[in-house]
Amino acid sequence: MEPYLNSWLLRDDRPPVIVLGNEKGGSGKSTVAIHLAMGLAAAGLRVGTVDLDGRQGTFSRFVENRKRYAPTDQEAARLVFTEHRQISLPHSEMDPEAVDEKLAQLVTALESLGDRHFIVVDTPGSDNVLARAAHVLADTLITPLNSSFLDLDALVRVDNDASQISGPSAYSELVLFMSERRADMGAPPIDWLIITNRLPNVPTRVHRSVMVILRKLSERLGFHFLPSIHERVIFRELFLKGLTVLDSAELGPAAATAGSAREEVEALVDAILVRSSWKELAARRAEAKSNPRRGDPSKPAISFENWDPSRR
């Protein structure tokens, strides 16, 4: 399965791939993916989007809702759209041919989006072959996290009174593993970014404790922080219409309450424009090429077989 992904990863002229990932379900991957993608498009950029969560298909349903909201060319012209693709899971992950076929479809989808400024990929909240492939392909990985110990558990094991970190979780190990495999083959490692989502409007003791641990962890696991997003009802209200908090002109009376949410999304988009642009990726690639890691040449460049999920 490796050649499919390698051929894409080592292409010099491809756009940055931004993956939303977290094995913990419901952390806000799709909400952030939708708002980031629409925000980049609203900034005048060509954006490709890929939905790998075939079961829920949240991003794809958002796209359908948006098209239904603006069915005529004239109405659609008021909105921004992305070029969207959806890949479903293979009928069996045990069938190598079926898996290979899906990985080939994924790379074909990415190649069809090769002229975009950014590709944003939404993944399911569970470990499967497409989610793992997405993590290999992630030039930037954004992990949304709610500020609770339950969500923190997706990254790291913490002891009962939250005073000691006892080790990384299976998900953190997966990210570090995939990042190393990328580096072994001369691609830049994953730039791992955490976004705290659904931040409580009144700071709680749990939130403060979680942030203390996250800050300690950022050095150990090598991630950085994106500007946070607060818990806001408006993020839940617009999905059925296929709108985002950025579509101010369409929101009617809700526009009045969307202002703060819009500012948060704009801060996220700005941070990604600075950190994850094509130019930044080109610099990271040049660095990876000029400082090749001395990996084990007998080891395949990317191998999911080496990743042992039974360790969880």
Ligand X SMILES: Nc1ncnc2c1ncn2[C@@H]1O[C@H](COP(=O)(O)OP(=O)(O)OP(=O)(O)O)[C@@H](O)[C@H]1O
Contact string (CB under 6 A) for ligand X, positions 106-135, x = contact: ------------------xx----------
User: Could you tell me the end-to-end alpha-carbon distance of the chain, in angstroms, rounded to an integer?
Assistant: 24
Would you count residue 30 as binding Mg ion (CB under 5 A)? yes
d(CA 155, CA 24): 9
- Contacts of residue 305, defined as CB under 8 A and 6 or more positions apart, other chains included, come to none
Would you count residue 58 as binding Mg ion (CB under 5 A)? yes
Phi then psi for residue 11, to 5 deg, are: -70, 130
Mark 34-53 as b/e (b = at least 16 C-beta within 10 Å).
Answer: bbbbbbbbbbebebbbbbbb
Would you count residue 235 as binding ligand X (CB under 6 A)? yes
* Number of other CB atoms surrounding residue 199 within 10 Å: 18
From ligand X, Mg ion, none, interface partner of 275 (C-beta below 5 to 8 A by class): none
Q: Which is nearer to ligand X, 6 or 244 (CB)?
A: 244
From Mg ion, ligand X, none, interface partner of 196 (C-beta below 5 to 8 A by class): none
Binding to ligand X in span 24-63, by CB under 6 A = 25-31, 53, 56, 58
From Mg ion, ligand X, none, interface partner of 96 (C-beta below 5 to 8 A by class): none
The letter for the amino acid at 146 is N
From ligand X, Mg ion, none, interface partner of 236 (C-beta below 5 to 8 A by class): ligand X
Closest CA to 143 of 83, 228, 200, 86: 228
Contact string (CB under 5 A) for Mg ion, positions 144-183, x = contact: ----------------------------------------
d(CA 209, CA 176): 24
**Residues, the chain:** 312
- Tokens standing for residue 310: 């039974």
Among 236, 279, 289, 312, binds ligand X (CB under 6 A): 236
Would you count residue 232 as binding ligand X (CB under 6 A)? yes
- Contacts to ligand X by CB under 6 A: 25-31, 53, 56, 58, 124-125, 197-198, 229, 231-232, 235-236
